[in-house]
Amino acid sequence: MKLFDRTIFLINFGVILATFLAYLAPNIDPELTWTIAFFGLFYPVLLIFNVLFIVYWLFKKPKYSIASILCIILGWNQVKGFISFNAQKPETQGETVSVITYNISNAYFGYDKNKKNRDKKKETFMEFLENYKETEIFCIQEVGDYAYDILKKTFPDHHLYYKEKGAVILSKYPIIKKGEVDFGTKTNSCLWGDIKIHGDTLRVYSFHLQSNQISADTEKLANQREINQKQAWYDIKGILRKFRNKHLHRSRQAEKIAAHVKKSPHKIILGGDLNDPPQSYTYQVFSTLGNDAFRERGSGIGTTYAGRIPLLRIDYIFADKALEVASYELIKDHFSDHYAVSATLEWPIIEDIDSEQ
């Protein structure tokens, strides 16, 4: 084997090892070790590199492509969290409810020092939202005063639940009971509401878990023209320390929500910004509570984050296992650094039994 091919082989082996560490990430509590979670964050990039290595070896030495092929096959369940190959259900047989989750980023798209431009941008955003006025349930995150005013004006006939911590539930049907899973923070929250619909009651959660807050740091590091080795290493350690702390926060927040969900007397729907990919402990906690709508009915690459870090799927709709996902849609827009996620859920008509938590 020539030196160049030997080097490529060693890099390929390193990528395969990192990919297997990404496979482990959902099953390891970050309290035990947080470093494996970092591999899960970059799983889409690792998957792409494995595919590139397969193509390279098929032209050079086909037998060496087997390692990456086996790596992908053994982690096929993880692949389906990033790329889905489903079709929409052709017809529904029971009652349905339409759901959208959307991290609105406080409608920052509309900010402009020039009032005329600001009003025009605000109107454009409201026109976009009006396309979804018939949606029955919205789970919205990162809502401040500016975005709250937009929501009230755009959805005057919806019931709105908001506690000034960012999360919002909008419903075309009455919210008969509501509350909060309190994280003890000002910027992250989870609201829940019991919604009376079609003779049944659904408990809906709108959540926004702790963000990593490393995008700006990584961009600053990447854009440095002259790299000071000592300063660069200091910056990298700061990024890793921030990622570790935020990931631990998210894990505990997810467990708080899970504990609350398990006490619910009603079928549940969870919609929101997990700030973690499917290759994470946080996602694993949520996946035990309901079916991931993307895995059930999604098609293509499921990227929901439009910010600086590419190929991230961090916005989700999880549906009670008693519900069926009839359709899924990723709504790509330019109004936020997140894309909206839409799903239609179906369930058989049953007699409602009122109970209180």
pLDDT value at position 355? Answer: 43
Query: At residue 134, what is the residue type?
Result: E
Task: Map 52-113 to HEC letters.
Answer: HHHHHHHHHCHHHHHHHHHHHHHCHHHHCCCEEECCCCCCCCCEEEEEEEEECHHHHHHCCC
b (16+ CB within 10 A) / e for 329-354: bbeeeebbebbbbbbbbbbeeeeeee
Q: What is the pTM of this model?
A: 0.88
Instruction: Please check whether residue 258 is in contact with residue 289, taking contact to mean a CB–CB distance below 8 angstroms.
Output: yes
pLDDT value at position 224? Answer: 57
Tokens of 290: 């309901």
Instruction: Please check whether residue 154 is in contact with residue 129, taking contact to mean a CB–CB distance below 8 angstroms.
Output: yes
Q: What does the alpha-carbon distance between residue 243 and residue 315 come to, in Å, rounded to a whole number?
A: 18
Q: What does the alpha-carbon distance between residue 137 and residue 159 come to, in Å, rounded to a whole number?
A: 10
Which whole-number Å values give the CA distances from 127 to 84, 121, 130, 342, in the listed order?
A: 30, 10, 5, 18
- The 324-331 sheet, strands edge to edge: 159-162, 168-171, 137-141, 95-103, 340-347, 324-331
* Neighbour tally for 130: CB within 10 Å: 11
pLDDT value at position 110? Answer: 73
If DSSP codes are grouped into helix, strand and coil, which group holds residue 143?
coil
pLDDT value at position 221? Answer: 46
Query: Which residue stretches of the chain are H helix?
Result: 3-24, 35-41, 43-60, 66-74, 76-79, 115-130, 145-154, 215-222, 229-261, 281-287, 293-297
Q: What does the alpha-carbon distance between residue 90 and residue 356 come to, in Å, rounded to a whole number?
A: 36
CA 314 remoteness from chain centre: 2
Instruction: Please check whether residue 80 is in contact with residue 295, taking contact to mean a CB–CB distance below 8 angstroms.
Output: yes
Query: At residue 199, what is the residue type?
Result: G
Q: What does the alpha-carbon distance between residue 171 and residue 150 come to, in Å, rounded to a whole number?
A: 16
Taking each helix axis from N to C end, the angle separating 66-74 and 3-24, rounded to the nearest 10 degrees, works out to 10
Tokens of 224: 């440095």
pLDDT value at position 310? Answer: 80
How do the pLDDT tens digits run along the chain, 357 residues long? 688 889 999 999 999 999 999 999 999 988 888 888 889 988 999 999 999 999 999 999 999 999 999 999 999 999 999 998 887 777 767 789 999 999 998 887 777 778 788 888 888 999 999 999 999 999 999 998 888 989 999 999 999 999 888 899 999 999 999 999 999 887 888 999 999 998 889 999 999 999 865 555 555 544 555 555 555 555 556 566 777 778 888 999 999 999 999 999 999 999 999 999 999 999 999 999 999 999 999 999 999 998 777 889 999 999 999 999 999 999 998 889 999 999 999 986 555 445 444
pLDDT value at position 357? Answer: 47
